[in-house]
């Protein structure tokens, strides 16, 4: 191979075209590399073995916006609890959310459960084999449908995620900005895809992007496409893909209230099923808004019949970054008597049961900020938690695979 395959629509000289590797040669080079260097992953079938569509689907849903390292223990827990799609369909949503807690983007867990039910009700627990039918299932978009279709059923489609976009925009030095360049990237992928091993080709592209063609300092000397790669030849691979500047959401602020009974139980409630963090457990909070006034924070405290002065502000704030906006929460803590009843829509959770609740990462940060240890089996060290813990503002910064 001496030069790159041309991007569709870009003119090249006759001499250059004569020296270009064919799409077939590019695909063969990538598949040869994949045969030697493929990652061993718990959801990936060994060479020569048919992939399990359930494992492919589950892993692809979990991997959205998340790394392989973060997903592996969740995948193992899920498949131990729900070995088949039928087991998942028959489970209570709450038990699915509990196992998902900490993985983020909780609408995925609700859709996962809804999708399993449809698969059982409509397809007898067997995944349909067409992209169109897969796309019609809850929570399955274009990427996931293509991933299941290619990896599990060897259909000739390419799932295009951030890794694949990075590799292809570099190999062809695509100057057009993403997301406008997506149709071009799709055309490039389709032009390269071989007819005999589409599933392996898709996984090879994913692996190349995850292990060699990384966002920073790509290991071009180890790359099977080093020779034809235009970005490497130009010497600026890290400048691809070219992306439109991100629009940051406006900062929202609010207050969270951690009420702790004398026996260690903590007051919680369940968020409404739809929307952000739907169906997850939380400690009570006020509204999250751009103009939150700290002076009025306690107006939103749960009605436990305690004096306002019993709510103590924990120094610092808890920060969290959702997809569309960053959030800062003030945390207030109150110690209350055993006899205090939970207000309507709320409940007390015994300390020993806290670790098993479906708390999203944000709430785990809030509870830790209040000085409560959520690790399983960790009992309180005394009657009241240590509330004066220093804040540890953390931010979510997840990159897929």
Outline where DSSP puts E strands in 186-264. 252-261
Cis peptide before 330 (omega within 30 of 0): no
**Token pair 């493929």 is at which residue?**
38
Nearest in space to 283 (alpha carbons), one of 296, 300, 270: 270
DSSP code for 196: S
Of positions 44, 232, 292, 365, contacts ligand SF4 by CB under 6 A: 232
Measured from the CB of residue 225, what is the shortest distance to ligand SF4 in angstroms? 5
CB of 212 to ligand SF4, least distance (A): 5
- Of the ranges 10-18, 182-190, 227-235, 279-287, which one interacts with ligand SF4 (CB under 6 A)? 227-235
Q: Which of 63, 71, 178, 213 binds ligand SF4 (CB under 6 A)?
A: 213
Among residues 71, 157, 173, 231, which is the contact residue for ligand SF4, using CB under 6 A?
231
C-alpha closest to that of 189 among 57, 35, 7 = 7
- Using CB under 6 A, pick the residue from 98, 170, 184, 369 that binds ligand SF4: 170
- The string over 88-121, giving b where at least 16 C-beta atoms fall within 10 Å of a residue's C-beta and e elsewhere, is bbebebeebbbbbbebbbbebbbbbbebbbebbe
Among 56, 109, 212, 331, binds ligand SF4 (CB under 6 A): 212
Q: CA–CA separation, 380 vs 351, rounded Å?
A: 8
The CA distance from 192 to 49, in Å, is 24
Q: How far is CA 83 from CA 80, 118, 122, 124, 241, in A?
A: 6, 17, 19, 16, 39
Q: At what angle do helices 93-100 and 107-123 cross, to 10 degrees?
A: 140
Select the residue interacting with ligand SF4 from 229, 267, 304, 327 (CB under 6 A). Answer: 229
Q: Does position 171 bind ligand SF4 by CB under 6 A? A: yes
CA atoms within 13 A on the CB side of 126: 6
Binding map of ligand SF4 across residues 293-332, x = CB under 6 A, - = no contact: ----------------------------------------
Among 107, 87, 85, which Cα is nearest to 97's? 107
Cα distances from 124 to residues 119, 127, 298, in angstroms, run: 6, 9, 52
Complex with ligand SF4: residue 112 or 213, whichever CB lies closer: 213
* Residue 237 found at the interface with ligand SF4 (CB under 6 A): yes
Confirm or reject binding of residue 225 to ligand SF4 (CB under 6 A): yes
**Residue whose CB is less far from ligand SF4, 16 or 386:** 16
Contact residue for ligand SF4 among 148, 188, 220, 358 (CB under 6 A): 220
Q: How many residues bind ligand SF4 (CB under 6 A)?
A: 14
Whether omega before 179 lies within 30 degrees of 0, making that bond cis, reads yes
**Of the two residues 197 and 232, which places its CB atom closer to ligand SF4 in the complex?**
232
Task: Please tell me which residue in 20, 60, 190, 294 is annotated as part of the active site.
Answer: 60
The reply on whether position 346 binds ligand SF4 by CB under 6 A is no
197 binds ligand SF4 (CB under 6 A): no
Phi/psi for 234 (5° steps) reads -75, -20
The reply to whether 159 sits near ligand SF4 by the rule CB under 6 A is no
Q: Work out which of 81, 107, 226, 384 binds ligand SF4, going by CB under 6 A.
A: 226
60 classed as catalytic:
yes
Contact between 259 and ligand SF4 (CB under 6 A)?
A: no
Q: How many CA atoms lie within 13 A of 195 on its CB side?
A: 0
Closer CB to ligand SF4, 225 or 288, in the complex: 225
**Contact residues for ligand SF4, defined by CB under 6 A:** 167, 170-171, 212-213, 218, 220, 223, 225-226, 229, 231-232, 237
* Residues identified as active-site: 60
């Amino acid at each position: 191979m001496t030069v790159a395959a041309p991007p569709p629509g870009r003119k090249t000289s006759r001499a250059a075209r004569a020296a270009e590797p064919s799409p077939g040669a590019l695909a063969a080079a990538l598949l040869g590399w994949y045969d030697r260097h493929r990652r061993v992953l718990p959801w990936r079938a060994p060479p020569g073995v048919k992939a399990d569509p359930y494992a492919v689907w589950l892993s692809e849903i979990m991997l959205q916006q998340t790394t392989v390292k973060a997903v592996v223990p969740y995948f193992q827990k899920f498949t131990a609890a729900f070995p088949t799609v039928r087991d998942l369909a028959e489970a209570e949503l709450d038990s699915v959310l509990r196992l998902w807690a900490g993985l983020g983007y909780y609408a995925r867990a609700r859709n996962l459960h809804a999708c399993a039910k449809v698969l059982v009700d409509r397809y007898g627990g067997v995944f349909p084999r067409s992209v169109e039918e897969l796309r019609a299932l809850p929570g399955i978009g274009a990427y996931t449908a293509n991933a299941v279709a290619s990896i599990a059923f060897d259909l000739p489609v390419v799932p295009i995620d951030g890794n694949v976009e990075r590799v292809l925009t570099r190999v062809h030095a695509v100057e057009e900005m993403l997301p406008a360049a997506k149709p071009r990237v799709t055309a490039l992928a389709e032009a390269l895809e071989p007819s005999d091993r589409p599933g392996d080709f898709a996984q090879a592209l994913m692996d190349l992007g995850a292990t060699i063609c990384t966002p920073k300092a790509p290991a071009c000397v180890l790359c099977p496409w080093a020779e034809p790669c235009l970005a490497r030849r130009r010497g600026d691979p890290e400048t691809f893909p070219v992306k439109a500047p991100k629009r940051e959401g406006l900062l929202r602020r609010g207050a969270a209230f951690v009420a702790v009974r004398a026996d260690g139980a903590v007051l919680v409630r369940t968020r409404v099923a739809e929307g952000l963090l739907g169906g997850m457990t939380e400690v009570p909070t006020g509204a999250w808004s751009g103009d939150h006034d700290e002076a009025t924070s306690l107006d939103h405290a749960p009605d436990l019949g305690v004096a306002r002065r019993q709510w103590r502000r924990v120094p610092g704030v808890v920060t969290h970054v959702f997809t569309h906006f960053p959030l800062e929460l003030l945390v207030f803590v109150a110690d209350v008597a055993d006899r205090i009843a939970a207000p309507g829509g709320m409940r007390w959770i015994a300390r020993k049961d806290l670790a098993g609740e479906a708390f999203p990462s944000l709430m785990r940060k809030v509870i830790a900020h209040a000085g409560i240890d959520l690790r399983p089996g960790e009992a309180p060290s005394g009657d009241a938690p240590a509330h004066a813990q220093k804040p540890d503002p953390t931010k979510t910064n997840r990159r897929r695979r």
